Amino acid sequence: MIQKQVNQKAWFMVLPVFLLVAFSAVIPLMTVVNYSFQDTFGSNQFFWVGMDWFRDLMHSERFHDAFLRQIAFSSIILAIEIPLGIAIALAMPRKGWGVPVCLISMSLPLLIPWNVVGTIWQIFGRVDIGLLGHSLASMGIDYNYTQDPIAAWITIIVMDVWHWTSLVVLLSYAGLCSIPDAYYQAAKIDGASRIAVFRYIQLPKMQGVLLIAVLLRFMDSFMIYTEPFVITGGGPGNSTTFMSIDLVKMAVGQFDLGPAAAMSLVYFLIILLLSWIFYTVMSNVGEESKNGGA
């Protein structure tokens, strides 16, 4: 029996990528880990404090409030953008001149930089010069995102939905276009309703792209910083101070490098853990659907 030899030279092609990742990710991460166990008073002098910063963080009401605000925001974003993106993708045409028009229209919000999106909605929502704020004020609606926490939350949520629902739409549309016509023909012969086609054909076939959409939108929404910082700066009060904004205030504003480094690591682990949970749950649901269909 002839054994096939494996050529390992391909690893040399990947080596530059590993080196780049090590330089751009691993080394800065190790620096943050080092800072999280030490304290400094400037002049590049550090003092070992062990796990003190992590213990203080776990008992910090400020951290707990920021975490709850972050969870609430990500939950609302996923609850709105995923169903809305699927609905828009289902309504988009599959053939004809409308396809490129819809795809380009859906892609436009994704091309705008994050800080520009924040600036657009900051001006758009102002009562004195913004179209949205001035129109609502003319209608007698008390809307001021700089003073009302509810208005600030609504503004940030609507802004994020406008900016990122397109990503869910494009992923869902790609999943729908990959479904062979034979499935629809069989459903038509069986007399399946529109809801049944979506439940038993389209939704199971889209689970792969929906998993990607949920993970991407969760991670992006959980790490959101630029847009709410530009619009509200974390206010009014601390109502929109998410974990990312609180972390920057701690590291840059207060120059508490040790606590900020500890919070960065906890922040990273939370995102990693929740993303793994999302991936595991949705993968198990997908496997159950396949086994049930078989």
CATH number at residue 268: 1.10.3720.10
pLDDT tens for the 294 residues of the chain, in order: 556 666 677 777 888 888 887 778 788 888 888 889 988 776 777 888 889 999 999 999 999 999 999 999 999 999 999 999 999 999 999 888 889 999 999 999 999 998 999 999 999 999 888 898 889 988 988 898 989 999 999 999 999 999 999 999 999 999 999 899 899 899 988 888 899 999 889 988 888 889 889 999 999 999 999 999 999 999 898 999 999 999 999 988 888 889 999 999 999 999 999 888 888 887 776 676 566 555
Residue 51 lies in a domain: no
Q: What's the total number of domains in the chain?
A: 1
Task: Output the CA torsion sign for 42, 46, 47, 51.
Answer: positive
User: Domain range spanning residue 257?
Assistant: 59-293
Taking the model in full, what pTM does it have? 0.86
pLDDT of residue 31: 86
pLDDT of residue 71: 94
Residue 205 lies in a domain: yes
Residue 138 lies in a domain: yes
pLDDT of residue 263: 94
pLDDT of residue 76: 96
Residue 148 lies in a domain: yes
pLDDT of residue 290: 61
